[in-house]
Structure 1
Amino acid sequence: MRILLISMPWHSLDSPSLAIGLLRQRVKCCREQHETLELQAFLRWAEFLLASSNGRLQPSHYVRVAEHGIFHGVGDWIFTPALYDVPEWKSEEYAHYLSGVGQDPGPALEMHRLSSTFIAALADEVLALGCDVVGFSSTFMQNVASLALARELKRRKPELLTVMGGANCDGPQGAALHRNFDFLDFVVRGEGEQAFVELLDAMGGHGRYADIAGLCWRSEGSSMVNPDRTAPFPMQQVPAPDFDSYFAALETSPLQNYLEPKLVLEGARGCWWGQKHHCTFCGLNGSMMMFRSKPPTRLWEEIRSALERYKTLDVMMVDNIIDLRYFKELLPRLASSDWDLRIHYEVKSNLTLEQIQLLRAARVMHVQPGIENLSSRVLKLMDKGVSGCHNVQVLRDCQAAGLTVSWNYLYGFPGEGPEDYESIIEQLPNLVHLQPPGGATRIALERFSPNFERPSLGFAERRPARFYSYVYALPEPELMDLVYLFDTADAGLRGESEARLERAVDGWKELHARSELTWCQDGARVYLRDSRADRPPAEYCLETPEEVALYLGLQRPQAPEGLQRLLEKEGVPVTTWQLEERLAAWKQQGLVFEEGGHFVALATRENRQRVRAPRRHAQERVHENA
Structure 2
Amino acid sequence: MPWHPIDLPSLQVGLLHTLLRQARPDDEVSEYHGSLSFAELLLERSGGHLRPGDYEAVGSDSIFHGLGDWVFSGVLYDDPDWGVARLGDYAAQRGISVDTASEMRVHAAEFIDRSATDVLADDPEVVGFTTTFMQNVPSLALAKELKRRRPGLVVVFGGSNCDGPMGHALHRNHPFVDHVVRGEGEYAFPALLRHLDDGTPPADVPGLCWWDGEVSRANTETRRTVAPADIPSPDYDQWQAALEASPVIEYVYPKLVVEGARGCWWGEKHHCTFCGLNGSAMAFRAKPGERLWSEVDRLVRRHRILDVVTVDNIIDMAYFKDFLPLAAESGWDLRMHYEVKSNLTREQIELLGRAGAVLLQPGIESLSSRVLDLMDKGVAGARNIRTLREFENHSITCTWNYLYGFPGETAEDYASVIEQLPALVHLQPPGGAHRIQLERFSPHFTDPGLGFGKRRPAEMYQHVYDLPEDELADLVYLFDTEDAGVGGATEAALKRAVAAWITGHPGSSLLMEDEDEGDSGSALSVHDRRHGMPHRTHRFTGWQAAALRRLEDGRTEPALHRLLTGDGHDVPAGALDEWLRHVLSLGLLFRDGRTYVALPTRELPVRIDRGPADDSVPAPQVAAG
Q: Tell me, yes or no, if structure 1 residue 437 matches structure 2 residue 430.
A: yes
Matched with 1:560 is: 557
Matched with 1:595 is: 592
Distance in 2 between residues matched to 1:300 and 1:215, nearest whole Å: 33
Q: Tell me, yes or no, if structure 1 residue 539 matches structure 2 residue 537.
A: yes
Report the alpha carbon displacement of residue 330 of structure 1 after superposing the two structures with TM: 1.1
Distance in 1 between residues matched to 2:25 and 2:211, nearest whole Å: 23
Q: Tell me, yes or no, if structure 1 residue 572 matches structure 2 residue 569.
A: yes
Q: Which sections of structure 2, spanning at least 5 residues, go unmatched?
A: 517-521, 605-625
1:23-422 alignment runs, 5 A limit: 23-30=16-23, 33-205=26-198, 208-422=201-415
- Aligned residue for 1:525, secondary structure, equals strand
Cα distance change, pair 202–29 in 1 and its aligned pair in 2 (3 A): farther
Q: Tell me, yes or no, if structure 1 residue 13 matches structure 2 residue 10.
A: no
Distance in 2 between residues matched to 1:591 and 1:31, nearest whole Å: 62
Distance in 1 between residues matched to 2:80 and 2:453, nearest whole Å: 39
Query: 1:416-463 deviations in whole A, cap 9, x for unaligned?
Result: 010000011010000000000000010010000000001000001000
Identity %: 52
Amino acid at match of 1:117: E
Which moved further from structure 2: 335-344 or 205-214? Answer: 205-214
Distance in 1 between residues matched to 2:298 and 2:314, nearest whole Å: 23
Distance in 2 between residues matched to 1:102 and 1:257, nearest whole Å: 33
Amino acid at match of 1:130: D
Report the alpha carbon displacement of residue 129 of structure 1 after superposing the two structures with TM: 1.5
- Aligned residue for 1:233, secondary structure, equals coil
- Aligned residue for 1:255, secondary structure, equals helix
Maintained 8 Å contact 1:81/1:113? no
Counterpart of 2:579 (choices 582, 585, 605) is 582
- Aligned residue for 2:505, secondary structure, equals helix
Query: 1:392-424 deviations in whole A, cap 9, x for unaligned?
Result: 000001011100010000000000010000011
Report the alpha carbon displacement of residue 59 of structure 1 after superposing the two structures with TM: 1.3
Distance in 1 between residues matched to 2:22 and 2:394, nearest whole Å: 44
Distance in 2 between residues matched to 1:64 and 1:490, nearest whole Å: 27
Report the alpha carbon displacement of residue 206 of structure 1 after superposing the two structures with TM: 8.2
Matched with 2:611 is: none
Which moved further from structure 2: 571-580 or 380-389? Answer: 571-580
Please tell me the root mean square deviation across aligned C-alpha atoms, in Å.
Answer: 1.3
Maintained 8 Å contact 1:198/1:207? no
Maintained 8 Å contact 2:86/2:462? no
Maintained 8 Å contact 2:325/2:351? yes
Counterpart of 1:549 (choices 546, 560, 576) is 546
Distance in 1 between residues matched to 2:573 and 2:11, nearest whole Å: 57
Maintained 8 Å contact 1:29/1:197? no
Amino acid at match of 1:595: D
- Aligned residue for 1:384, secondary structure, equals coil
Maintained 8 Å contact 1:99/1:105? no
Report the alpha carbon displacement of residue 555 of structure 1 after superposing the two structures with TM: 0.8
Q: Tell me, yes or no, if structure 1 residue 460 matches structure 2 residue 453.
A: yes
Matched with 1:4 is: none
Amino acid at match of 1:367: L
Distance in 1 between residues matched to 2:363 and 2:438, nearest whole Å: 17
Amino acid at match of 1:461: K
Q: Which sections of structure 1, spanning at least 5 residues, go unmatched?
A: 1-7, 608-626
Query: 1:90-117 deviations in whole A, cap 9, x for unaligned?
Result: 2122033224333221111121122112
Distance in 1 between residues matched to 2:564 and 2:94, nearest whole Å: 53
Amino acid at match of 1:35: E
Matched with 1:503 is: 496
Which moved further from structure 2: 550-559 or 305-314? Answer: 550-559
- Aligned residue for 1:279, secondary structure, equals coil
Matched with 1:517 is: 510
Matched with 2:527 is: 529
- Aligned residue for 1:39, secondary structure, equals coil
Report the alpha carbon displacement of residue 573 of structure 1 after superposing the two structures with TM: 4.2
Distance in 1 between residues matched to 2:413 and 2:572, nearest whole Å: 30
Query: 1:502-555 deviations in whole A, cap 9, x for unaligned?
Result: 0000000000011000102123111111011122211111112x1122111101
Distance in 1 between residues matched to 2:29 and 2:436, nearest whole Å: 41
Maintained 8 Å contact 1:30/1:200? no
Distance in 2 between residues matched to 1:606 and 1:29, nearest whole Å: 49
Maintained 8 Å contact 1:433/1:512? yes
After TM superposition, what 4+ stretches of structure 1 lie above 2 angstroms from structure 2? Answer: 28-33, 98-103, 573-576
Maintained 8 Å contact 1:553/1:563? yes
Report the alpha carbon displacement of residue 352 of structure 1 after superposing the two structures with TM: 0.6
- Aligned residue for 1:594, secondary structure, equals strand
Report the alpha carbon displacement of residue 564 of structure 1 after superposing the two structures with TM: 1.5
- Aligned residue for 2:168, secondary structure, equals helix
Distance in 2 between residues matched to 1:201 and 1:360, nearest whole Å: 46
Maintained 8 Å contact 1:375/1:596? no
Matched with 2:608 is: none
Amino acid at match of 1:534: G
Matched with 1:617 is: none
Report the alpha carbon displacement of residue 566 of structure 1 after superposing the two structures with TM: 1.3
Maintained 8 Å contact 1:564/1:576? no
Amino acid at match of 2:149: R
Distance in 2 between residues matched to 1:500 and 1:241, nearest whole Å: 46
Amino acid at match of 2:220: P
Cα distance change, pair 99–261 in 1 and its aligned pair in 2 (3 A): farther
Distance in 2 between residues matched to 1:229 and 1:261, nearest whole Å: 36
Amino acid at match of 2:243: L
Maintained 8 Å contact 1:32/1:201? no
Maintained 8 Å contact 1:378/1:413? yes
Query: 1:541-598 deviations in whole A, cap 9, x for unaligned?
Result: 1112x11221111011211111112112212243552111111001000000001211
Distance in 2 between residues matched to 1:341 and 1:317, nearest whole Å: 12
Query: 1:238-268 deviations in whole A, cap 9, x for unaligned?
Result: 1110001110001110101111100000000
Report the alpha carbon displacement of residue 307 of structure 1 after superposing the two structures with TM: 0.2
Query: Which structure carries more relative contact order (alpha carbon 8 Å, separation 6+)?
Result: 2
Maintained 8 Å contact 2:8/2:255? yes
Distance in 1 between residues matched to 2:570 and 2:390, nearest whole Å: 28
When the two structures are aligned, how many residues end up with a matched partner?
600
